Structure 1
């Protein structure tokens, strides 16, 4: 075959290859078609569900951490209550961490984790020091009477438990089980705190 013939063959092959590539890129010839209306709607629905679940988790964590702040404020105002409140506070700190991670680790609540480690490590004077250290809004008001403070803390625990219970209706199954567990613990804490206030 002559050089000219070889060159013509190469040019023809290149043209055929380019045409084939152009055909592959066309949606009508087997390329990736655009998503259908149903697929787009399903994607939008999945995004809505994800946003709703994220908002639910944020509310649950905010509720648990708000209760934790209430424990800290009560301990700061009434150090003598530390033997009674420290175990419950530690449990609430664990709940806040679990709700933030879907029940796996305590990473999303570093402030709560640090605070929960401090009270049991030393005497009853330690929790007030750690409770007032974090920067932020002014400390929560706490009744001067210890029994009234316990009643207020019990009411806060009950409110948090009720909120977690209400969230069960829209929570995904795994997170709903965690919420139910935390709500049950919160109700038990409210009872124990109420009994403590009567003592």
Structure 2
């Protein structure tokens, strides 16, 4: 079951308030202007982008948590983490969600909705990888479900990100075998 975070709710509320304020006019007798279909579509897409980027940003936070808890896994996780950071940036472009900024290592980092202290990482490295793979699958499922309401160009991006997440989940579990 997916929960909606406070940031997503606040962003959706802010988008609604912006539409309402945009509809106000200074003309006395005309009454408030209703948003156009294009304005409503743009606000809906901005909210969708914000939610999608936040979902991937939470996944990025999980990568950081696992790498911090298990430094021996950091080299294995780095390419996957960098791909997720690029996805966060791509998902947020054109929306109101902040793009990742640099971390202490110089690689992109999320603007997390939670602190690292709230992400539980299993003590066993194999279990931590399984947990991260599960988070990848859940994120991919969320992006796939979002396809139904996304505009065509953004839907294609979401499909690519979801497919990438499925591949990451496979690599996290199967990539170390052999």
TM norm structure 1:
0.63
TM norm structure 2:
0.70
* Residue of structure 2 in register with 1:190 after alignment: 169
Alpha-carbon RMSD across the aligned residues, in angstroms, is 3.1
Return the index of the structure with the highest Cα Rg: 1
Q: Whole-Å Cα distance in 2 between the matches of residues 182 and 150 of structure 1?
A: 20
Structure whose residues are more often helix by fraction: 1
The answer as to whether partners of 1:150 and 1:196 remain within 8 angstroms in 2 is: no
* Residue of structure 1 in register with 2:103 after alignment: 115
The answer as to whether partners of 1:147 and 1:198 remain within 8 angstroms in 2 is: no
- Alpha-carbon distance change, 168 to 116 in structure 1, aligned in 2, over 3 angstroms: farther
* Residue of structure 2 in register with 1:161 after alignment: 140
- Alpha-carbon distance change, 77 to 188 in structure 1, aligned in 2, over 3 angstroms: same
Gaps of 5+ in 2: 1-29
* Residue of structure 2 in register with 1:137 after alignment: 115
Residue of 43, 48, 51 corresponding to 1:51: 43
Gaps of 5+ in 1: 1-34, 120-129
Q: Whole-Å Cα distance in 2 between the matches of residues 81 and 192 of structure 1?
A: 13
Verify: 1:84 aligned to 2:72, yes or no.
no
The answer as to whether partners of 2:46 and 2:94 remain within 8 angstroms in 1 is: no
The answer as to whether partners of 1:151 and 1:197 remain within 8 angstroms in 2 is: no
The answer as to whether partners of 2:45 and 2:150 remain within 8 angstroms in 1 is: yes
The number of aligned residues is 144
